[in-house]
Structure 1
Amino acid sequence: MLFFAISQFLAYFKWTGIGEIIAVNGAGLLRAAGVSGPVVFLGILLVVTLINLVVTSGSAQWALVGPVFVPMLMLLDIPPEYTQALYRIADSCTNAITPMSPYFVMALGFLQRYRRSAGIGTLASMTIPLAFTLLVVWTLLFFVFWWFGVPLGPGVPVPS
Structure 2
Amino acid sequence: MLTRSSLSRIIYYSRSNLEREPGLLREQEQQLVRQCRRQNEFALITSILVHDRGYFCQMMEGDREALNQTFRKISVDNRHKDVRIVEWREIPRRELLPSFELIERNLMTQEILERFEIDEELARGTPKPSHLHDCFHALQANLLAKRGIEALT
TM range (shorter): under 0.3
Q: Which structure has the larger Rg?
A: 1
TM norm structure 1: 0.27
Looking at secondary structure, tell me which structure has more helix per residue.
1
Looking at secondary structure, tell me which structure has more strand per residue.
2
TM norm structure 2: 0.27
